[in-house]
Amino acid sequence: MTDVTDVREPTVEGRPAVLGGDPVRAADYPRWPVWDDRERELLLGTLEAGGWWQGDGHAAADFADAFARYQSEEFGLALTNGTHTLEAALAACGIGEGDEVIVPGITFVASATAVLAVNATPVLVDVDPETLCIDVGAAEAAVTDRTRGIVAVHVAGAAADLDLLTDLCARRGLRLIEDCAHAHGTFWRGRGAGSWGDFGSFSMQRSKLMTAGEGGVLICSDEELRDRAWAYADCGRVKGEWFYHHATYGSNLRMTEWQGAVLTAQLERFPAQNERRNRSAVALGDALSAIEGVRPQFRDERMDSQGNYCYVFHYDSDAFAGLPLRDFERALGAEGIPMGVSYPSLNHLALFREGNFGPRLRASAPTQDYRSLRLPVAEHAADSTVWLEHRLLLAEVDDVLDVARAVERIQRHAATIVEHQGGGS
């Protein structure tokens, strides 16, 4: 193999692209989504078979079952998206008006709006400073006699501490719903993410680790919970009853067969992609750890593999001549690195600050005062972490290491960048 340090050293030395230099990467990283003739074949098969609806075909249901088995779980429900999977899980657990559900501050808004959707109060708690996942101590401190469950998010595929969470939920009689929207392919002590709680909720939206543009899968092992979730997702129908026998409240949250066809092909390709992303993430972590002021998101040793929805690292502007995070992100993007961005801490959203809950929580006001709520770790993380798109992890390792070269280059020239940009975003 080529000695990359010798070959690449000049690019690290070069003028940063944000100051007009050539970018570290001229070529783009692999595109996302990845697809080939297999998707085409399965889509055409669905088209020609004519069963375009879950009630007529079997692509979506078969995919959801296969995906559940991949994540070490028994049952899988093929639903519309990863917001509705959370909502169906909460509804199946009987969570509703007057109940509280604990949700971490760093996540996509859906982890909390799903709680609002069933008319329960999301109780926002802080996150662990290293993994960015729920701080289990903070979750325990937030438990009241109204608490019914925890939505634990595996942020960027890094597993929340499932040992502590399952213990806490067992001791306090709480439901555990794992929000695995980022965690396809995350395994904790030999078992898939999503198989530890009462439900595991996955999204197959465009940016996720496997995708049909939109889509979601809910996994569980309890038949009764499964049937209740499915009834909620299928207009309140009861298995074995007349089609128009609607026994309970429900809605239409069913995945289409088109999505099932595409996701079947995506799942076939997934294990090899997951391995490659993990190899890349470990190599990138080693390279970034050697740079002052950069700390990769903590990779717990109990985690056998990480889904890596994004590649996340902590950024300390002090080691970059005070270059603000947003300017650093811009400079890294200019070097040809595909950039995402951290979620804001949920307590900073107008939704919570202004209590814009629409028809939700009218009868029972939220039990948490969101306006005065502080989540110091989550708030700091939102302003000090860098999120890179997962597609770059599908490249050859040497190409992935361009991220570290670009970071180093920016660091060497940080004072000049600050000077040119007036020191502010």
Kindly state the smallest distance separating residue 342's Cβ from ligand PLP, in Å.
12
Nearer to ligand PLP, 87 or 327 (CB): 87
Q: Does residue 259 belong to the site contacting ligand PLP (CB under 6 A)? A: no
Q: Is 110 in the site for ligand PLP (CB under 6 A)?
A: yes
Residue 224 to residue 7: CA distance in whole angstroms = 60
Query: Cβ of residue 9: shortest distance to ligand PLP, in angstroms?
Result: 38
CA distance 138 to 124: 10
Our finding on whether 203 is near ligand PLP (CB under 6 A) is: yes
Contact region with ligand PLP (CB under 6 A), list: 52-60, 106-114, 323-331, 368-376: 106-114
Choices 8-16, 75-83, 140-148, 362-370 (CB under 6 A): range interacting with ligand PLP: 75-83
> Could you tell me how many residues make up the chain?
425
Binding segment toward ligand PLP, per CB under 6 A, in 93-101, 104-112, 233-241, 251-259: 104-112
Cα–Cα distance for residue pair 29/31, rounded to 1 Å = 6
Q: Is residue 111 near ligand PLP by the rule CB under 6 A?
A: yes
Whether 58 is catalytic is no
Residue 82 makes contact with ligand PLP by CB under 6 A: yes
Beta pairing partners, 39: none
Indicate which single residue of 100, 179, 234, 408 sits in contact with ligand PLP (rule: CB under 6 A). Answer: 179
The span of 78-86, 188-196, 278-286, 391-399 binding ligand PLP (CB under 6 A) equals 78-86
Regarding 81 and contact with ligand PLP (CB under 6 A), the answer is yes
For 234-250, the DSSP string reads BTTB-TTS-TT-B-S--
Q: Which two tokens stand for residue 405?
A: 């070269």
Alpha carbon distance 348, 374 (integer Å) = 9
Total residues interacting with ligand PLP, rule: CB under 6 A: 14
- Considering only 43, 93, 153, 400, the residue that binds ligand PLP (CB under 6 A) is 153
Bridge partner residues of 252 (DSSP): 234
For residue 220, the minimal CB distance to ligand PLP (Å) is: 17
| Strands in 80-196 per DSSP E | 100-104, 121-125, 147-153, 175-179, 187-188, 191-192
Measured distance between the N- and C-terminal CA atoms of the chain, rounded to whole angstroms: 41
Q: Toward ligand PLP, which CB reaches closer, 203 or 305?
A: 203
Residue pointed to by tokens 């499915």 = 230
32: nearest Cα among 296, 281, 309, 297: 309
Q: Among residues 75, 108, 313, 328, which is the contact residue for ligand PLP, using CB under 6 A? A: 108
Catalytic annotation on 179?
A: yes
Beta-strand runs (E) in 215-371: 216-220, 294-296, 303-305, 310-315
| Span 204-243, contacts to ligand PLP by CB under 6 A | 205, 216
352 in catalytic set: no
**181 forms part of the interface with ligand PLP (CB under 6 A):** yes
The answer to whether 205 is a known catalytic residue is: yes
- Give the footprint of ligand PLP on residues 133-152 (CB under 6 A): none
Residue 10, preceding peptide bond in cis (omega within 30° of 0): no
Report DSSP state, residue 317: G
Is 239 designated active site?
A: no
Catalytic residue among 108, 232, 311, 370: 108
Cβ neighbors of 418 (< 8 A, separation 6 or more) are 321, 322, 323, 327
Helix ranges (DSSP H) in 118-195: 136-141, 162-172
Closest contact distance (angstroms) between CB of 4 and ligand PLP is 34
Task: Enumerate the β-bridge partners of residue 246.
Answer: 237
Catalytic residue among 99, 179, 234, 327: 179
Q: Which is nearer to ligand PLP, 153 or 160 (CB)?
A: 153
**Closest distance of CB 211 from ligand PLP, Å:** 9
**107 counts as binding ligand PLP under rule CB under 6 A:** yes
Least distance between ligand PLP and beta carbon 360 (Å): 17
Q: Report the distance separating Cα 330 and Cα 321, nearest Å.
A: 16
**Shortest CB 154 distance to ligand PLP, Å:** 8
All residues at 6 or more sequence positions from 45 whose CB lies less than 8 Å from its CB, including other chains: 261
Please name the residue that has the structure tokens 């809950």. Answer: 357
Alpha carbon distance 404, 50 (integer Å): 50
Q: Are 415 and 321 in contact (CB under 8 A)?
A: yes
Nearest distance, CB of residue 131 and ligand PLP, angstroms: 14
Binding site for ligand PLP (CB under 6 A): 81-83, 107-108, 110-111, 153, 179, 181-182, 203, 205, 216
Question: So which residues are the catalytic ones?
Answer: 108, 179, 182, 205, 208, 237, 244, 254
